[in-house]
Structure 1
Amino acid sequence: MKLVAIEQEGRYRLGVKLNDGIIDILSALEHMPDSAVPTDAMDVIAGGEQAVAILRSYAERLLQTPNYGAALLLREDEVQFGPCVPAPNKIICVGLNYRQHAIETNAAIPQFPILFNKFNNTLTGHLHDVVLPERVTNQVDYEAELVIVIGKTAKNVSKEQALDYVFGYCCANDLSARDLQTRTSQWLLGKSCDGFSPLGPYLVTKNEIADPNDLAIKCFVNGDERQHSNTSDMIFPCDEIVSYISQHMTLVPGDIILTGTPEGVVLGYPADQRVYLNPGDVVTIEIEGLGKLTNRMVSEA
């Protein structure tokens, strides 16, 4: 199942992506009430497989109702997307987690996952503009990343069991101001400007992804392919990442983990060939089975 956060007047409504369109669950419930149906994405994540089953059954029944089933389907161009995980408790990121990316930036292969964090101010949705903070940086870089969305409380879980605690996956763009990132030994400042974590367009439940450690991942800037790799190049695969983090902190439903980016970022070019993102640039992140996440960069002025 693919979940969507529909943004409306600053709030997020739960949507379900189907082949023919998107169902706004709150609108549907006005026509076909059912008190068992969750209406918030975070509740679905916390409810796990049972909540997903209820939601799937409701959507199927709705579409079989001739009076209004298909009429309640929204076209994607009618939807204003919010971040598909609207309110994560934690945003955890893994740095330098692709071998070829470490090589292109002349960094040593990490012996342990390099962890840092971002905050909710960085979240934005598919097709939202991202304001480049030009007063403080002119070196904003793109980073295509696979996101793990935690579905069950996880503490001290083994690698073998780690994916049992996952709800699903989505695309992210871990936008990074490279001059701010390298100003000190702590990366946080360069990673946490407003809008620096576009997320979506869909949150895809794990049953639709056969192996998160074997997915094609790409990034395009203005239609030009900049990154093209596979999650199999990750140094620390998804199960190891979840297990490792859970040894040090408790993961809870709705936590998201950005798993690193492959080679092809601007920082990987020779210094005299680096062209960072500019106003008007359109960045698309595409991951196999998860859809395409697109955002336009706009000027702060």
Structure 2
Amino acid sequence: MRIVNFMKDGRATLGVRDGEDVRVLGTETLESVLARGVGLNEWARKQASEEKVPMVGLQLLPPLQRPPKILCVGLNFADHTKESKYDQPTYPTLFLRVNTSLVAHDQPMIRPSVSDSDGLDFEGEIAVVLAKGGRHIARADALGCVAGYSLFNDGSVREYQFKTPQWTVGKNFDTTGAFGPDLITPDELPVGLKGLLLQTRLNGEVVQSASTDDMVFDVASLISIISDAITLEPGDVIVSGTPSGIGWARTPKLLMKAGDVCEVSVEGMGTLRNVIADERPR
């Protein structure tokens, strides 16, 4: 099942894909549905109305607009760790994103108007959305906590990322974290996302390509390890890491500029597409 969040009659509305159409589910947020402990597949089947709207032309929103937590994983592909000139960590490298950094499929990712940055870098990733959480979740139980998966582009303002040892600012400029287009329930994908090809394309050229099998910490391990320290909650998002090929590591650097088109694709999941736009002067 593929759930989308979109604008209808001026309100955020949930729907479930039905071929080329979307069947309307209503205006309850996905965050609220997950917090109630409802199984998404059963809820959507019962909730779906007869009203359909064409998928073409819909203004999509991120699947969740205000998730409780957005936990991002750095250095989770060994080739990316190598190109970034770090030693491979034996524990997940975690940082947080904030809700104001999120942007939907087919909406512009904004290159910030700061004088000491040349551009915005791409990082194609997969987002894991939780249906339930807790502390000290066993790895064997971790995949049972997953509500679904989505695509993510962890747009990074590198000069700000590396101003300090903490990466937070460079990862949290407004409207730089693309998220969507769908939330895909686990029954539509291989268990634990095994064996899927992840690719990022910039203006049609493949700039990142790797298998999800290359992740240092797989989905189940990430959920389990993070839960040893942090209480996970329904609606939390774990952004699981990017492979090698980032623009900052290239010579010359390949950073996104206004008018560029960046696409993140994973087989079986579809494509997240965004045009890059410059921030408007105030």
Same fold per superposition (TM over 0.5): yes
Q: CA deviation at 1:57?
A: 4.2
Higher alpha-carbon deviation: 214-223 or 5-14: 5-14
Q: CA deviation at 1:161?
A: 1.0
Task: Identify the match of residue 159 of structure 2 among 168, 179, 187.
Answer: 179
User: 1:56/1:95 Cα in 2 relative to 1: closer, same or farther (>3 Å)?
Assistant: same
Q: Which residue of 2 aligns with 1:99?
A: 78
- Alpha-carbon distance between aligned partners in 2 of 1:39 and 1:159, rounded to the nearest angstrom: 31
- Alpha-carbon distance between aligned partners in 2 of 1:106 and 1:290, rounded to the nearest angstrom: 31
Matches within 5 A, 1:78-157: 78-136=57-115, 137-157=117-137
Q: CA deviation at 1:147?
A: 0.7
Match of 1:5, as an amino acid?
N
Higher alpha-carbon deviation: 151-160 or 254-263: 151-160
Task: Identify the match of residue 222 of structure 1 among 203, 208, 211.
Answer: 203
Look up the SS of the partner of 1:153 in the other structure.
coil
Q: Which residue of 1 aligns with 2:31?
A: 42
Look up the SS of the partner of 1:190 in the other structure.
helix
User: 1:141/1:9 Cα in 2 relative to 1: closer, same or farther (>3 Å)?
Assistant: farther
Larger Rg computed on CA atoms:
1
Structure 2 segments unaligned to the other structure (5+ residues): none
User: 1:178/1:187 Cα in 2 relative to 1: closer, same or farther (>3 Å)?
Assistant: same
Q: Which residue of 2 aligns with 1:296?
A: 275
Q: CA deviation at 1:8?
A: 4.5
Q: Which residue of 1 aligns with 2:215?
A: 234
Indicate the structure with greater helix content: 1
Instruction: Work out the number of aligned pairs and report it.
Output: 278
Q: CA deviation at 1:10?
A: 6.5
- Alpha-carbon distance between aligned partners in 2 of 1:53 and 1:256, rounded to the nearest angstrom: 21
User: 1:146/1:226 Cα in 2 relative to 1: closer, same or farther (>3 Å)?
Assistant: same
Structure-1-length-normalised TM-score: 0.87
Q: CA deviation at 1:260?
A: 0.6
- Alpha-carbon distance between aligned partners in 1 of 2:11 and 2:106, rounded to the nearest angstrom: 16
Cα RMSD (Å): 1.7
Q: CA deviation at 1:213?
A: 3.3
User: 1:133/1:10 Cα in 2 relative to 1: closer, same or farther (>3 Å)?
Assistant: farther
Identity %: 32
